[in-house]
Chain A
Amino acid sequence: MYRLMNRSHSHEGIRQACARGALVGLVLTFVALIGVFTAFATIYVVRGVLSLSQVLLALGPLLAGRAQKAGQRLSWREALAGGLSGVVAGTFVGLLALAVASVNMRAVLVNATPQLVRTLTFGLPLGLGVISLVGFGGLLGAAGAGWVHVPSRLRFSVALGLGTVVVLGALRQNGLAPVLAAVVLALVSGGAWLYKRQWQELQTSYELFRRRNESLLAVLRWPLALVFLLAVPYVLGTYGTSVLNLVGLYVLMGLGLNIVVGYAGLLDLGYVAFFTIGAYVTGLLTSPRSSLGVGLSFWAAWPAAMLAAMVAGVLLGIPVLRMRGDYLAIVTLGFGEIIRILVLSDSFKPILGGAQGIIEIPGPRLGGFQFVKPQHFYYLILLGCLLAVIVSRRLADSRVGRAWLAIREDEDVAEATGINIVKYKLLAFALGASFSGIGGAIFASWLHAIFPNSFTLLVSINILSLVIVGGLGSIPGVIMGALVLVGLPEVLRAFAEYRMLAFGALLVIMMLARPEGIWPAKRVREELRRG
């Protein structure tokens, strides 16, 4: 009886191992056919030795082997099951290589190229390549199965070392030289191995230190954060600072949209309109070549830009006061497009410049000091963001914030409770728009020129996404969202067009893993916990 059960058990085990391998194999096939491997083949992690596509290819069987339920210690059965998963996954990839090599499928699958075959077979002759795919798959699968049983300290250090090599190598032009890679691996893994214990001690002693000096740290926290923020551009250099400036502008706008969507619960898909208005008002008022030609300074122009955006916010708000959900989304979307079409249109060309936009917008000037470098603008944007954070925080905790909360939760009940829906909705639209107006003003004076095609629907969608990904209604969430959604694609630029693919996958994974956002508002967090 026991034997029988055991046997059916092992049959079940074989079936599951194959299923795991097949799943991984299918994923790898898909990834290959959308062209990722071909693109990553030229991104070397270790120069001339290991490419990013090989890393990715190896990761498949490893994960397939690793995915099974592990026993107390490594058994033959486990290792074999892991190896089987790896073999199956490898076979899928091998069959793909064979198929691509023998049948011309490029009409349907643009990425099924000879180059893909070469990448998948490591440049070996086809037969040998396929055999090694299957063989390596098996080995890696078995290794994956064994991985769980490696002592945790060793596992941690090796993983950290390998991870560091892959990240550094991929980000570096042409990858790390083999020797350098070995050195990095040895240093990081060895260091982690040696210091894992000390690291924990360090943490506990820091914890002790923190507890003992709580009040001191509380006093120092904000000055320290400020010093950090002020020092960042010196560490990052010009390119890094430009990226950060972009992130900062999105933080500013994200905080504005967060008031509208996160606090008041009004879905606004045309938020870019206020950014456009802020930028154009600034351009018109400051550029000597603009139709107004008044050539005001940035400092005189930005309040006007902010006010214009606020007025536009109210003007958008009035017709949509009674609209909900999807209607609101459509109308606001239309509003954003109308503004873009207006600035692009030929009829307003004499005033707004049409497709040529507005040029020669001067940068801000403080006394004799002219803002030119990204570092200079960094401080301007930082100031804007800090103000926006303070205003947002204050608002969220105020009576106004409570009114928005009520409207967001249930407009009808809010009305019956005596909350002035009209006033607070318009206030949300106006305040939200004002942040974006300031953002537009800074944007215009930073780039010195503005064109209608910078103000597309995509901007609205980006801002909305970062607010949602970060966590609706959460200020740190907006900042994290902007770093991930705006900063990360810039950093990933090395991956050319596949960055958006990797990025999209990351977003999907993130929203599945953390539907409440990266850093959700306290209220949302509590709700999820309570169930």
Chain B
Amino acid sequence: MATLEVLDIHSFYGSIEAVKGVSLTVEEGEIVTLIGANGAGKTTTLNTISGIIKPRQGRILLSGQDITPLPPHEIVALGICQAPEGRRIFTRLTVLENLEMGAFLRRDKDGVKRDLEHVFALFPRLAERRHQLGGTLSGGEQQMLAIGRALMARPRILLLDEPSMGLAPLLVREIFRIIREINAQGTTILLVEQNAHMALSIANRAYVLQGGRVVLSGTAQEIRHNPEVRRAYLGEVS
């Protein structure tokens, strides 16, 4: 059973078509990555899945249910939660308040408490800084908080938009390790990345986006060995 199916979506900004018929599937338990150059339409695709942008054409199914017309908050309630691009967190709320806000839709207090401890276990740096204001965290910590906040909604599918952006190599490694851990604990992940090398190293499957279209897809192995990808995205000189 496919968890998430994106069927030929076309998304526009005004008259500019940023996504020109993207189709992809994310199976339960997978890590799927979406790679591509700047402006390829990766964020737009994610925002369309989250319901923040409505596609002009195409459908998005979650376990067979059409979620295309639903508003973002209902899509979150159905189990798709996004950690937006650029470490978007509530800068004037504390770490703890940010995480609690992430669980806004949940009514199970005990479960929220347990998940809070879980997030703190995943990100010990956040635990130490639970009363610090979000805006005063370092870039890497903010990224952790953004992921933690999304996790607090207890999503079935976590959408991550460039979690490694602007982080030092050591921290990038750390973040990817944690993404893998989150996945191992049962959360399906759709990962958008510029850092194709790292993304392909943890993903099961990959889609390559170019100019708003999927130009290549396959297992991470296949994509990694594709000469075109090696040249364009993995920085290999041929």
A: residues with CB less than 8 A from B are 399, 402-403, 405-406, 409-410, 412-422, 527, 530
Do A420 and B90 touch across chains, with their CB atoms under 8 A apart? no
Find chain A residues with CB under 8 A from B90 CB.
406, 409-410, 413
User: CA separation between A412 and B153, bound complex, in Å?
Assistant: 16
Q: CA–CA, A402 to B84, complex, Å?
A: 20
Contact call A418/B91, Cβ cutoff below 8 A: no
Alpha-carbon separation in the docked complex, A417 to B76 (Å): 7
Q: Which of B8-16, B34-42, B97-105 contacts A (4 or more CB under 8 A)?
A: B97-105
Is B89 engaged at the interface, CB distance under 8 Å to the other chain?
Answer: yes
Task: Tell me the complex Cα distance, A413–B93, Å.
Answer: 12
On whether A420 and B84 interact (CB within 8 A), knowing A402-B104, A413-B89, the answer reads no
Rounded to whole angstroms, the CA-CA distance of A396 and B72 in the bound complex is 24
Q: Taking the nearest CB of chain B, how far is it from the CB of A373, in angstroms? A: 47
> B75: nearest residue on chain A (CB-CB)?
A418
Q: Are B104 and A530 in contact (CB under 8 A)?
A: no
Q: Are B104 and A419 in contact (CB under 8 A)?
A: yes
Return the chain A residue nearest B132 by Cβ. A530
Rounded to whole angstroms, the CA-CA distance of A531 and B72 in the bound complex is 34
Whether A418 pairs with B104 at a CB distance below 8 angstroms is yes
Shortest Cβ gap from B195 to chain A (Å): 22
Pick from B71, B73, B92: contact of A409, CB below 8 A. B92
Of A403, A406, A417, A420, most buried by chain B (CB within 10 Å of CB) is: A417
* Contact status B133-A418, CB under 8 Å: no
Q: A452 vs B166: C-alpha distance in the bound complex, in angstroms?
A: 57
What are the nearest 8 A-B pairs in CB distance?
A418-B76, A420-B73, A409-B90, A418-B105, A418-B73, A413-B88, A415-B72, A416-B82
Choose from A402, A405, A410, A419 the contact partner of B73 (Cβ within 8 Å). A419
Among B92, B136, B149, which residue has its beta carbon within 8 angstroms of that of A417?
B149
Q: In the docked arrangement, what's the CA distance between A415 and B149, Å?
A: 13
Query: Bound state CA distance, A399 and B150, in angstroms?
Result: 18
Interface residues of B (CB under 8 A from A): 50, 52, 71-73, 76-77, 81-84, 88-93, 100-102, 104-105, 133, 136, 149-150, 153
A418 and B77 within 8 A (CB): yes
A412 and B84 contact, CB distance less than 8 A? yes
Q: What is the CB-to-nearest-CB distance from B112 to chain A, in angstroms, rounded to a whole number?
A: 13
B133 touches A416 (CB 8 A): no
Q: A413-B88, A416-B50, A418-B72 are in contact. Are A402 and B133 (CB under 8 A)?
A: no
Which of A402, A405, A410, A414 is the most central at the interface, judged by chain B CB atoms within 10 Å of its CB?
A410
Chain B residues with CB below 8 A from A412, complex form: 52, 84, 88
Which one of B73, B91, B92, B150 has the greatest number of beta carbons of chain A within 10 Å?
B73
**Smallest Cβ distance from B97 to chain A, in angstroms?**
8
**A415-B52, A418-B76, A419-B73 given; A402·B101 CB < 8 A:** yes
Q: How far is the CA of A409 from the CA of B73 in the complex (A)?
A: 17
Q: Which residues of A contact B100 (CB under 8 A)?
A: 402
CA distance A409 to B104 in the complex (A): 15
The residues of A that contact B76 with a CB separation of less than 8 Å are 416-418
Distance, CA A417 to CA B151, complexed state (A): 10
Contact among A417, A420, A530 with B153 in the assembled complex (CB-CB below 8 Å):
A417
Does the CB pair B71–A416 fall under 8 Å?
Answer: no
Rounded to whole angstroms, the CA-CA distance of A147 and B228 in the bound complex is: 84
Within the complex, the shortest CB–CB distance from B147 to chain A, in Å, comes to: 12
Q: In the complex, A417→B88 CA distance in Å?
A: 11
A415 nearest CB neighbor, chain B only: B72
Residues of B within 8 A of A410 (CB): 88-91
Say yes or no: A418-B84 contact (C-beta < 8 A), given A402-B101, A413-B89, A413-B90: no
Assembled-state Cα–Cα distance A406/B72 (Å)? 15
For residue B125, give the distance in angstroms from its CB to the closest CB of chain A: 18
Known: A416-B83, A418-B73. 6 other contacts (CB 8 A): A410-B88, A412-B88, A415-B52, A417-B102, A418-B104, A420-B73
Between A and B, 8 residue pairs with Cβ closer than 8 Å are A415-B72, A416-B50, A416-B76, A416-B82, A416-B88, A417-B102, A420-B71, A422-B71
Chain B positions within 8 Å of A403 at CB level: 104
Asked if residues A418 and B81 are in contact (CB atoms below 8 Å), the reply is yes
Q: Which of A415, A419, A527 contacts B133 (CB 8 A)?
A: A527
Contacts A413-B84, A417-B149, A527-B133 known; A406 to B104 CB distance under 8 Å? yes
Query: In whole Å, how far is B26's beta carbon from the nearest beta carbon of chain A?
Result: 18
Contact A416 B91 (CB under 8 A): no
Most chain B CB inside 10 Å of its own CB: which residue of A414, A418, A421, A527 = A418
B81/A409 in contact, CB under 8 A: no
Give, as a whole number of angstroms, the nearest-CB distance from A422 to chain B: 7
Query: Is the CB–CB distance between B101 and A406 below 8 Å?
Result: yes
Bound Cα distance from A414 to B89, whole angstroms: 9
- A418 near B153 with CB under 8 A, answer yes
Residues from chain A with a CB closer than 8 A to the CB of B83 are 416
Question: Would B71 and A417 count as touching, CB distance under 8 A?
Answer: no
A406 to B105, CA, bound (A): 13
What residue in chain B is nearest A524 (Cβ atoms)? B92
CB closest chain-A residue, reference B93: A409
What is the minimal beta-carbon distance from B100 to any residue of chain A, in angstroms? 8
Closest Cβ of chain A: how far from B89's Cβ, in Å? 7
* Cross-chain contact of B101 among A417, A420, A421 (Cβ < 8 A): A417
Flag if A417 contacts B104 (CB, 8 Å).
yes
Cα distance A417–B136 when bound, in Å? 21
For residue B149, which residues in chain A have a CB less than 8 angstroms away from its CB? 417
| Among A402, A410, A413, residue most surrounded by chain B Cβ atoms (within 10 Å) | A413
* Interfacial chain B residues near A406, Cβ < 8 Å: 90, 101, 104
Indicate the member of B52, B90, B136 with the most A CB atoms within 10 Å: B90
Minimum C-beta distance from A416 to chain B (A): 5
Which residue of chain A is the closest to B152 with respect to CB atoms?
A417
- Chain A's nearest CB lies how many Å from the CB of B215? 28
- The residues of A that contact B77 with a CB separation of less than 8 Å are 418
A402 to chain B: which residues have CB within 8 Å? 100-101, 104
